[in-house]
Amino acid sequence: MRFETPVALWVRVGAVFAAAVLIWLLLVQGLDLLLPSTGRDLLAHTIRAVSATVLTVAAIALACRFLDRRPWRELQLGPPRAGWRFFLLGMVLWLVPAALGWALCTGLGWARVTVTGDAAEVAASLLALVALVICYEALPEELIFRGYLFRNLAERYRTPVVVVAQAALFTLWALCWGGIDGPVRVLLFFTFGLALGACRAATGTVWTGIGFHTAYQVAAQFFTPGTTPLSDGLSRVEGVEPLSAVAFWALPFALGATAVVLGHRARRRVTGLSAV
């Protein structure tokens, strides 16, 4: 198939950004109007998760065909069959600093966590939560911001500019559909976008960010009361604010992003030396 010249960059970026806002407005506010009795129950969560992935993939496929006018593979997202290593790498990049933050918070008495469910209940809840997080947040958001938008912005701008720009768009997107309710959430989304952008830039694939994104969302939702019905009654957390700020946010975002960038630079130096 022969593809023509892409339309203007700002049209591509603006159209996909607008589509992302509309999709989440539909999923968050539209579903509440259609199914007012579901609230935040498992049915609503599942419908949102499946719909988010389906609508996002459809929107990006249409953008590739009619705006970029080039095949999907040129987005350089990386095939799923080869992406699991990067997915696991992304999870490790979040989990290791998070474990350090967890130890710090509990060791200093800032937080106390008690798992009240049995092992089978906790395992089942975590597996279901992983699936829903991937479908509702990690996969669609990474495809849009660290996939499509990152790749298109990188055609014209240097990597540091692209990382900051996509983080700003990620934050603006959350503001538009109501995912941000204060300055702390603005900072959370922007720094999260920077960390995810660093994962994308350093490894060249969205799968690292999907792993990082999944690890953060699963932990945050499981240990934050009232976030998801899947974890209700399975844990009790005292001091959720310092635990969230230090163990789930500050240390993983800063250290995880730093580690992936330094690791990428070290690998490039070793590759360069071995080629000499």
Q: Answer whether residue 71 is part of any domain.
A: no
pLDDT tens figures, 80-119: 677 899 999 999 999 999 999 999 999 999 999 998 888 8
Phi-psi region of 226 (alpha: psi -120 to 50; beta: other; left: phi over 0): left
Q: Which helix (H) or strand (E) holds 235?
A: strand 235-238
The answer to whether the pTM exceeds 0.85 is: yes
Q: Answer whether residue 10 is part of any domain.
A: no
98: closest CA among 24, 231, 195, 25?
A: 195
Decide which of 102 and 230 is more confident: 102
Q: Answer whether residue 51 is part of any domain.
A: no
Assess whether pLDDT exceeds 90 at residue 72: no
- The owner of tokens 């310092």 is 242
**Share above pLDDT 90 across residues of the chain, in percent, rounded to a whole number:** 68
Q: How far apart are the first and last CA of the chain?
A: 40
Assess whether pLDDT exceeds 50 at residue 195: yes
Per-residue model confidence (pLDDT) at position 273 = 41
Name the average pLDDT for the chain.
89
pLDDT tens figures, 138-190: 999 999 999 999 999 999 999 999 999 999 999 999 999 999 989 999 999 99
Q: Answer whether residue 268 is part of any domain.
A: yes
CB 189 within 8 A of CB 180: yes
Q: Answer whether residue 189 is part of any domain.
A: yes
Q: How confident is the model at residue 233 (pLDDT cuts 50, 70, 90)?
A: confident
Q: Answer whether residue 6 is part of any domain.
A: no
Rounded CA-CA distance 211/83 in Å is 10
Per-residue model confidence (pLDDT) at position 131 = 96
Q: Answer whether residue 232 is part of any domain.
A: yes
Per-residue model confidence (pLDDT) at position 275 = 38
Q: What is the mean pLDDT of residues 128-146?
A: 96
**144 lies in which domain range?**
79-275
Rounded CA-CA distance 5/212 in Å is 34
Q: Answer whether residue 5 is part of any domain.
A: no
| Number of domains comprising the chain | 1
